[in-house]
Amino acid sequence: MSVQSLYTAASGMEAMQTKLDVISNNLANINTTAFKRDRANFEDLLYRNKVYPGILDAQQNPTPTGVSVGMGTRVQSTQKDLRQGTLEQTGRDLDIAIEGAGFLQVIDPSTQNILYTRSGNLDINANGQLVVGSAQTGRVVEPAVTIPQDATAVVINPNGQVLVRQVGQTQLVPLTNLQMVSFINPDGLMKLGENMYQVTDASGQPIQGNPGQNGLGVIRQGSLEKSNVEPVKELIDLITTQRGFELNSQAIQAGDQLLQQIANLRRG
The pLDDT assigned to 32 comes to 95
Looking at residue 231, the DSSP 8-state letter turns out to be H
- pLDDT cut 90: percent of the chain above it: 72
pLDDT confidence tier of residue 268, bands split at 50, 70 and 90:
low
**Cβ distance 235 to 219 under 8 Å?**
no
Domain definitions of the chain by residue range: 4-82+229-267, 87-225
**Average pLDDT score over the chain:** 92
User: Alpha carbon 106 to chain centroid distance?
Assistant: 19
Stretch (H or E) spanning 5: helix 4-28
- Rounded Cα distance, 81 and 40, in Å: 11
pLDDT of residue 111: 87
Indicate yes or no: pTM above 0.75.
yes
Q: Does residue 231 have a pLDDT over 90?
A: yes
Q: Helix, strand or coil for residue 136?
A: coil
Residue 66 is predicted with a pLDDT of: 85
Contact indicator for 8, 252 with CB cutoff of 8 Å: no
In degrees and rounded to multiples of 5, residue 77 shows phi and psi of: -170, 165
State residue 21 phi and psi, 5-degree precision.
Answer: -60, -40
C-alpha closest to that of 211 among 198, 222, 221, 225: 221
SS3 4: helix
Burial class (CB in 10 A: 0-12, 13-18, 19+), 130: buried
The reported pLDDT for the residue numbered 135 is 64
Beta bridge partners of 23: none
pLDDT score of 233 more than 90: yes
- At 38-56, the pLDDT tens digits run 999 999 998 888 888 888 8
Q: How far apart are CA 268 and CA 263, in angstroms?
A: 9
- What average pLDDT does this structure show over 24-28? 97
Quick check: 267 pLDDT over 80? Answer: no
Helix-, strand-, coil-residue percentages of the chain, each rounded to 5: 25, 35, 40
d(Cα 259, Cα 64) in Å, to the nearest integer?
33
Confidence of residue 266 (pLDDT cuts 50, 70, 90): low
The closest alpha carbon to 226, from 26, 83, 88, belongs to 88
Q: Is pLDDT larger for residue 268 or for residue 70?
A: 70
Q: What is the pLDDT of residues 119-162, one digit of tens each?
A: 999 999 989 999 998 767 789 999 999 999 989 999 999 999 99
pLDDT at 51: 85
Q: What pLDDT is attached to residue 3? A: 82
Whole-number pLDDT of residue 99: 97
What pLDDT score was predicted for residue 48? 87
Question: pLDDT over 70 for what percent of the chain?
Answer: 97
